[in-house]
Structures are given as C-alpha cells and as structure tokens.
Chain A
Amino acid sequence: MSTDRDSAADPRAPSLEHAIGFVLRAGVLASSACLAAGLVLSLVVGEQGAALFLLHAGVILLLITPVARVIVSIAQFASVRDWTFTGLTVIVLIELMASAVAALLFNKRL
C-alpha cells in the first residue's frame, strides 16, 4: 500500500491550504494581541479611550479574519478557473455581507 499522500492529491489544494493557513494565523495573532493589550489596559484605566479602541479593534480583526479567508479562497479558485467553487465562495461572501448590513441596521435601531 502506498503511503505517498501527495501523488494523487489535488495539486491546487496545497497552495490554497497554505494561503488560508497564513490568513487565519495572521488574523488570530493580530486580534489576540489587540484583545490582550486592550483587556490589560482596560483593567488599569477602565473601558475607555485607547483600551476601548484596542478591544474593539481586536473584536473587528477577529470578525474580519474569516471574511479575509473567504476572499483569499475566491481569488485562489478563480486563478485556477474553478468557476463552480468561485461562485459558491462568492455566495458565502455575499451572505457574510448580508449579516454586516443587518448588524448596521440593528445598530441604527431601524
């Protein structure tokens, strides 16, 4: 039995996995750093000013990371002309945008 796991695998998959791994890792590190700094600062000076800014920046970076991952996936699928999966991933992005629009509407108490 062959244990060569790459011989018959999809040649596109490694580069997509690589790009996705990079985006996810960068997003988590950036948001965790902001959240940690914001939390420590807010315990010292209270939830205001720079502390509050860092906390919200951390939350927004956290929320943006999966969106960025979806955008990277769209670019990767499009670059190999896999239109079925480009289309499916675009639908996912539209759904995420719909949530953001709903959030903005709720925020304005409409």
Chain B
Amino acid sequence: MTWLEFPTYILLTSVFWLLALVLLLTPKRSVFHSLKGVFLFLGWASIIVFTIGLWISLERPPFRTLAETRLWYAVFISTIGIVLYYRWRLPLMLAYTLLMAILFLFLNYLNPDTFDKTLMPALQSPWFIPHVIVYIIGYAFLGFSSLIGVYGLYLYYKGKEVDRTLLMADNIVYIGFAFLTFGLLFGALWAKEAWGHYWTWDPKETWAFLTWLSYLLYIHFRIRKKQSPKTALWIIALAFVVLLICWFGINYLPSAQSSVHVYSS
C-alpha cells in the first residue's frame, strides 16, 4: 500500500465517519442511531488498514515526514474520540475528533509526500518509535484539552457555568502532559545515545519544552480552587498555539534553520 491508494481510503473513512455523525443526530432509540457504531468502526478500520499497509510497503515505520505524522495524528485523535465517546458519552467531542481527523487526512491528500524510504542513520534506533508515539499521543490529548478550553471560553462569554468543562480539561491535560513528558525524556535519553548529549536546545527541542512549560503553567494555575476560570481557559487555549508552532510552525522560524528534527517534505 502506498500514498497512491491514499485517496480511496480517506474517501472511505470520511464517508463512513460523516455518516456516523449524521446518525448520531437521529433519535437515541432509533435503529439508525445504533447503526452509527458500525460506521464509526468501518471508518476507523479503513484508516488503520492503510496505515499498516503503508508501514509494510515503506519497510520502515511511517514516522518520518510531516504527512506521516499527520496520518498518525488522525489515527490517534479519532481513536481517542471514539473511546471517550463510549466511555463518557461525549458526542461533541466525538464530532470534534472525527472532523479533526478528516481535516488532517484531507491535508495529506492536498500535500502528499514524496516517497521517502530512507531514514538517516541516527534515526535508526529502538528509541525512535516510542519517542514519536508518545509525542503524538501527548499532542492528541493536549490539542483536545485546548479545544475544550476554547469551548469553555465560548461558554464563559455566554455567561454559562464552566467548572465542569475545566475539570474535564484538567484530566485530559494531566494525561497529555504526562505523555509529553515521556516524549521529552525519551528524546533526551535517545539523543544521549545518538549524538552524545541529552539536550542541545535544538529549535524542535526548545519548542517542545515550551509546549511542556505552557501546560505546566496551566496545571499549576489550576491548583488553587478559587482561580479565575477565564484566565485558566485562556492559558490552555494559548498553550495550543505553542503546540502548533512546535509541530508545524518551526520550519518558518528564523531560529530553526538548522534543526535536526524539522520534518522533511
């Protein structure tokens, strides 16, 4: 399986998931409503099949290029959305995660990568896969929590109660933050083996650390119970901007002309 077959699979995935979202709107007890699970699964399965196929055909884990990380982001965020939906019945979050996943797949359709089968020697390490996987899981959770933050801001400015929203964001930040910490520390341990030092203030490292600090700020801001919810919501929304710079914006920063981590495209 290669990127050439990609359009077929994203078409399948998008159609299945959009159908599932439409069925979600039907009355709770109707047959249609219960059918949505089937479509959720079919959409998920088709993207998983593609990902595994790509992995096999590339003969290396597909974690190298920006398009490949976007593919994984789509896989993880939709998985998280579906699991959270069945665990806590969060239809809005399901819709958000599926639409985000579709958006990312669509971005890949517009900007597919060239075939790059090679992996530079320093990246051929047992650390590589765990490092990238924990990062992507971290990003998926943190991005998700920030979206909850944005939703909270919306509620806040409409004069609604945001306590519950913030508590939900808290829990998701904790999980995402822990994964991000793992990503940073695995990165450090690996860098020591590959390059001789665990931390070099490479732009990608710097921005990942900044992302980490932003959410650290949020966690500590939320410790006191009587903090302004507005500030908390703004912190978590802005932290997302830092996360996005770390992920996509780095290539455009003046400080990042020599990063070893900038994704090739």
Do A and B pair up? The answer is no
